[in-house]
């Protein structure tokens, strides 16, 4: 299995990162994909790539919550990194009106800049869209004839929104919210295009039940897989195979 979205380079994991990676492997998670946040997260993220080769894979991008007055300087740094080396995706990027509405225009500018980078390097975008799913679908629709690909991470939208996203050729990242008792995803997930779903934890956030309130970690992909397979009425093994194939098609195309 692949955890397609985990911030395991954050301080939450400083004390026991070896055990975290080991537990993930014991549960059958053999790849952990790491979305960047901003310039402060790059060094530790690349350190983990070096420490766990062929397990931890970095992305490069600017998180919408880090789009502030200096966002152009941050984007230049992202661009510079792409000129130096390969990354599996542009991310974590996107839009967010939950925490702060001050930089909405700048978020959209950063969104388009990073989409252009993804097209230039023919890699996917990993999209964050908190309180902005409809607005973000509209932004992506501008690229529908350009071959832009990617995933709406932490998908918690409606059946209709899910269809709009998969009709654009994008994937849906399913995580801990899928396990929440009152999350409503038990009704939505069976209606989604299953050839377009992938699994993620968003570690250390959005911990699945029954561990809510504790730190999330990549090993818990197996819990999410168990719940999603239940909703789809297929075996966990079949779900593992399906979502791993989907994730490989997006991030590691042959």
pLDDT at 254 (0 to 100): 87
In this prediction, residues 133-148 reach a mean pLDDT of 97
| Distant-in-sequence, close-in-space partners of 133: CB < 8 Å, separation ≥ 6 | 152, 157, 161
Q: What are the pLDDT digits (tens) for 172-228?
A: 999 999 999 999 999 999 999 999 999 999 999 999 999 999 999 999 999 999 999
Query: CA 180, 185, 186, 190 torsion: positive or negative?
Result: negative
> Is the predicted pLDDT of residue 37 greater than 90, yes or no?
yes
**pLDDT cut 70: percent of the chain above it:** 100
Q: What are the pLDDT digits (tens) for 4-21?
A: 999 999 999 999 999 999
pLDDT at 190 (0 to 100): 98
What is the Cβ-side half-sphere exposure of residue 41, based on CA atoms within 13 angstroms?
24
Q: How confident is the model at residue 124 (pLDDT cuts 50, 70, 90)?
A: very high
CATH number corresponding to 2-251: 3.20.20.140
CA–CA distances in Å: residue 74 to residues 40, 78, 153, 217, 245:
10, 6, 22, 28, 33
In this prediction, residues 42-47 reach a mean pLDDT of 98
Query: How do the domains of the chain map onto residue ranges?
Result: 2-251
Task: Report the distance separating Cα 238 and Cα 135, nearest Å.
Answer: 34
pLDDT at 42 (0 to 100): 98
**pLDDT cut 90: percent of the chain above it:** 98
Task: Report the distance separating Cα 37 and Cα 64, nearest Å.
Answer: 8
Q: What are the pLDDT digits (tens) for 49-86?
A: 999 999 999 999 999 999 999 999 999 999 999 999 99
- Cβ–Cβ < 8 Å for 59, 33: yes
pLDDT at 100 (0 to 100): 83
Q: Write out the two tokens for 106.
A: 């700048």
pLDDT at 99 (0 to 100): 79
């Amino acid at each position: 299995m692949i955890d397609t979205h985990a911030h395991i380079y954050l301080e939450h994991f400083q004390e026991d990162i070896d055990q975290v990676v080991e537990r993930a492997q014991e549960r059958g998670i053999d790849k952990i994909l790491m979305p960047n946040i901003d310039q402060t997260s790059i060094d530790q993220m690349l350190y983990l790539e070096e420490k766990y080769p062929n397990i931890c894979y970095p992305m490069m991008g600017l998180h919408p919550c880090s789009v502030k007055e200096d966002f152009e300087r941050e984007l230049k740094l992202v661009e510079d990194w792409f000129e130096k080396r390969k990354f599996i995706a542009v991310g974590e990027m996107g839009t967010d009106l939950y925490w702060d509405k001050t930089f909405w225009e700048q978020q959209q500018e950063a969104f388009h800049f990073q989409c252009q980078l993804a097209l230039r390097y023919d890699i996917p975008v990993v999209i964050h869209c908190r309180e902005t799913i409809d607005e973000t679908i509209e932004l992506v629709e501008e690229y529908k004839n350009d071959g832009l690909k990617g995933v709406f991470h932490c998908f918690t939208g409606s059946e209709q929104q899910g269809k709009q996203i998969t009709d654009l050729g994008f994937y849906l990242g399913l995580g801990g919210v899928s396990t929440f008792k009152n999350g409503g995803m038990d009704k939505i997930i069976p209606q989604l295009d299953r050839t377009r779903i992938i699994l993620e934890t968003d570690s250390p956030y959005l911990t699945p039940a029954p561990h809510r309130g504790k730190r999330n970690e990549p090993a818990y992909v197996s819990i999410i897989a168990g719940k999603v397979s239940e909703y789809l009425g297929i075996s966990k093994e079949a779900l593992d195979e399906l979502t791993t194939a989907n994730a490989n098609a997006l991030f590691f195309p042959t």
